[in-house]
Structure formats: C-alpha cells, structure tokens
C-alpha cells in the first residue's frame, strides 16, 4: 500500500506545496487503491482515471512554477453520486434517472475545482437517496469496510466507505434525514451536516427535463473526512453565498469567539423520549461527557422541554413527504405512501400524515410550524453552546431487507427507529451537527457521538472537534488493510 493512502488531505497538500510529492503520484496511488479494493466494497461507482491524471499533470506543472489553484491544489477526492458533474450521470441508483447526464457542474463541484481538487470518482448511494443502506437499480450493493455483511450507512454510504477504506481523503455528502451523519457513524469518520442554506444547492439533485419542483427544504451538502482538520479544510471551500441561490446568507465566518474550554457550556443526553439507544451507545456518550468534563468544559444533562424532539420528528415526516411528493401525480401518492409504510417506515412510532392533494396553504402551515420549532431549538442554544447526543441506536447493522426489524445484540428495533429519530430532528430544525468517531465498539464496528450547535456555529463545532480529538481514539483503520 502506498505511503499516501490514509494520509489526511492537509498532509497531502503540504507535501505538494513543499515539492515532496507530486499530484500525479498521489492521484495514481488512490486510483490504484480503488482498483484493488473497490470490488469488495462497491463504494466508487464512477471512475474518472484519465481525466484525473490529466488534471494532476497540469497541477504539477503549476506547482513547479509556484502557482497553486487553492487550498486543495492537486488533492484527489470522490464525491457522492447525486452531485452534478458536467457530462457524467447522476442516477440516484434508480432506473428513473438511469439516462440522466449533467449539462453543467453543481456549485459544490465548481468550488472544489476552483480550489484545485481533483475528483477521481463518484460514490454509491441508496436508491433515490431514501434508505440507510446502499442498494438500487443501477449499482451493486455497498458494503461496510469493517464488516462486509453490514451497511455502510445511507444515503452517503459509498462516501463513508471510500473514506474509511482509504480510497479518498475527502468526500462531500448530502443530508436530508441523516444521510451524512449516519454513514459517518457507521464507518467511523467525521461528517458535518451544515446549517441549512449555507452551501448553495444548485446541482445537488438531478432534475429531469420538464420538472418544475424546486423546493429543497432540509437538504444540505456537507464535508466528510477522517480528521476534523480536513472537515474544516473542505467546509471552508464549500460554504458561502452564490449568485444561483440568494437564500444563502453572507456570514462573517471569521468572527469566532476565542473561548477557553471552561467558557463553554455543553448540554448532553444519552436518549430521547421513546427512543432509548443501546446500553453501549449510552456508555459511549457518558464516557465522552466524562472526557469533555475532565478537559475543562462545563457539562449538564439537559434537553429542550415540551417534547421538542418528538414534534421535530413529526414535522419532518409531514414536510419530507410534501417535498418528495411535490411533483407526483395525486393518484401515485397513496401507492408511494403504502410502499414506504411497508418498507422503511414499517413499525415506526410516529404517524405518517399526508394528503392526496397538498395545497400551498398546507405547505405554508407546515413552514409556520417549522419556524416555531427552529425558534425553540435556537432558544435552547441560548443557554448552551452545543448538545451532545446519540448518532443512532447502535453501531452499523447487518444488510437486510428494508422494513425488517433490526437485530442488535439480542434486541429487535423497528427498521427506521434504529437511526432516523436521532438525526432527522436536526433536519427539521436546520441546526448544524457533526458526527465524531470514537473508535471501535465491542462488535468490531465504529462508535461515535453527535454534536449539535446553534445556527452558523460550524467554526466552533469544528474547533471543539479538533481540540477533543487529541484525547479520543477517533478514526481507526479497518483491520483488513
């Protein structure tokens, strides 16, 4: 295995700038690594070898002249299949879009290229981005690098698996209900769900010709990496306003308070009402809180009152169905709802509310309730800098038929209740949240914790992760490499 594999993007960038390695060497090493291991994992589903090596050669010539495109100059990376790259498919692993070819780059891809990144491939996703496993009509089933019989998470499962297996130092995922944080947790890497509307959404989802639907509430792009330093490196490239999306505010991200650990006040919980995680997850969180407290942070067991978590989940179900079905013919909607009730939402505790015909008033009503929920979460964060909470019920689960109960250490959990309730609540609220890996659990699979902050607190979340990573196990390389 090459010395470049499993190095961080920050380290690789330093090597290129110091003239100690070329982009061509680094890109070739990662391409070779993908070729060697991808058949086992099905993580990378589109492979841009020729183009990548051509761009690497250009980057090397520029580096020799002391010219650098940006912070990611010459760094190879992969990106989730849903993002538009001109001339490449974005199928969402579905026959519905199997012939869809992008006519231009998404804003995310534009920014990566401008920063000098070299996209060497696209990674596997769940069909229509609608599950926490990776399977579909177009690509083979995605696997977890720590145990090939287990899910890598979804929908950004190929992203997390490619990171954990060393195929890429950086990834960009997208999160509509946990699709960054859950794969990050299942594969033991960092994954940041960004504050809603801080990364432009142009090109985040393929749209067939003639489609009119344009509302993308709750869906965000975000960085994934093996180190918090790399999360920060990538986040700085992606974030910020763009002419294509006037909803993206101009924020002074540099104005970060220089606080000492003892000036932070952190809330924590190891469960939510009606969704108590496994004993192992509770132990992991309590151990993490003890660690954080020992480093000077003030911690307090606290959650918002008035069942804010439960109401956030209920709102998510209503709003997500409105968004997913916004262009479905009315007569197709009951068939779709029947399908998801029997599959992914089989046995879930909260009721699915939907209508044959959704009016503008229905959507307006939901958005009004959402505004109230956002305000309640932000009010909670007036007293606390962050909230430490579970990323899911337990570690990654075995690949299974969607909708079947998940068996974890002798306990049977409703399929969607295993991870969805711990993540979708923060899509409802729009708050940023970061999965922090904490090593390997008793069953040989990664364990982690979720850290949530108020709107626009990404710099402080990353700063906290960088500080505490000095004392945690963090990312652990899969043993079979």
All residues at 6 or more sequence positions from 298 whose CB lies less than 8 Å from its CB, including other chains: 262, 264, 265, 266
Annotated catalytic residue 469: no
d(C-alpha 129, C-alpha 151), whole Å: 14
Q: Are 449 and 284 in contact (CB under 8 A)?
A: yes
Choose, from 8, 106, 155, 162, the residue flagged as catalytic: 155
Active site (annotated) includes residue 80: yes
Give me the catalytic one of 7, 80, 143, 317. Answer: 80
Task: Output helix, strand, coil percentages for the chain, rounded to the nearest 5.
Answer: 35, 15, 50
Q: What is the 3-state secondary structure (H, E, C) of 332-390?
A: CHHHHHHHHHHCCCCCCCCCCCCCCCCCHHHHHHHHHHHHHHHHHHHHHCCCCCEEEEC
CA distance 99 to 236: 33
* 179 tagged catalytic: yes
Pick the closest to residue 316 from 367, 364, 257 (CA basis).
367
Instruction: Give the separation between CA 285 and CA 263, rounded to whole angstroms.
Output: 21
Cα–Cα distance for residue pair 365/313, rounded to 1 Å: 16
Q: Are 266 and 387 in contact (CB under 8 A)?
A: yes
Write down how long the chain is.
Answer: 481
**Selected catalytic residue, list 179, 278, 429, 433:** 179
Active-site residue set? 80, 155, 179
């Amino acid at each position: 295995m090459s010395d470049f594999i499993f190095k961080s993007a920050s380290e690789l960038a330093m090597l290129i700038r110091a003239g100690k390695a070329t982009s061509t060497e680094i890109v070739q090493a990662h391409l070779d690594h993908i070729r060697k291991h991808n058949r086992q994992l099905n993580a990378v589903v589109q492979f841009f070898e020729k183009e990548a090596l051509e761009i690497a050669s250009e980057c090397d010539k520029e580096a020799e002249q002391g010219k650098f495109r940006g912070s990611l100059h010459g760094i190879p990376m992969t990106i989730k299949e849903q993002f538009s790259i001109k001339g490449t498919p974005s199928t969402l692993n579905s026959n519905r879009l199997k012939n869809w070819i992008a006519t231009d780059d998404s804003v995310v891809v534009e920014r990566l290229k401008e920063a000098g990144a070299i996209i060497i491939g696209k990674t596997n996703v769940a069909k229509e981005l609608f599950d926490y496993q990776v399977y579909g009509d177009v690509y083979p089933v995605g696997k977890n690098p720590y145990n090939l019989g287990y899910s890598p998470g979804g929908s950004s499962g190929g992203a997390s698996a490619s990171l954990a297996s060393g195929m890429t130092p950086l990834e960009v995922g997208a999160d509509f209900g946990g699709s960054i944080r859950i794969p990050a947790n299942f594969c033991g890497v960092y994954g940041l769900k960004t504050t809603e509307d801080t990364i432009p959404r142009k090109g985040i989802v393929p749209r067939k010709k003639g489609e009119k639907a344009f509302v993308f509430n709750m869906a965000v792009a975000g960085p994934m990496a093996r180190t918090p330093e790399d999360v920060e490196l990538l986040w700085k490239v992606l974030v910020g306003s763009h002419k294509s999306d006037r909803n993206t505010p101009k924020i002074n991200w540099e104005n970060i308070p220089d606080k000492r650990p003892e000036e932070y006040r952190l809330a924590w919980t190891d469960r939510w009402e009606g969704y108590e995680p496994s004993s192992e997850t509770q132990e992991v969180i309590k151990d993490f809180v003890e660690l954080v407290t020992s480093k000077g942070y003030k911690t307090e067991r606290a959650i918002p009152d008035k069942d804010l978590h439960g109401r956030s989940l209920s709102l998510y179900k209503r709003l997500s169905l409105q968004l997913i079905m916004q262009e479905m013919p009315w007569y197709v909607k009951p068939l779709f709802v029947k399908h998801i009730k029997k599959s992914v939402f089989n046995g879930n505790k909260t009721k699915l509310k939907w209508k044959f015909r959704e009016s503008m008033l229905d959507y307006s009503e939901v958005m009004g309730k959402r505004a109230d929920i956002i305000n309640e979460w932000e009010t909670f964060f007036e007293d606390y800098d962050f909230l430490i909470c579970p990323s899911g019920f337990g570690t990654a689960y075995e690949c299974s038929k969607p909708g079947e109960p998940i068996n974890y250490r002798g306990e049977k959990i409703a399929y969607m209740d295993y991870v969805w309730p711990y993540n979708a609540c923060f899509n409802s609220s729009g708050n940023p949240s970061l999965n922090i890996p904490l090593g390997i659990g008793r069953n040989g699979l990664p364990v982690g914790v979720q850290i949530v902050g108020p709107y626009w607190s990404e710099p402080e979340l990353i700063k906290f992760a960088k500080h505490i990573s000095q004392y945690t196990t963090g990312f652990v390389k899969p043993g079979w490499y």
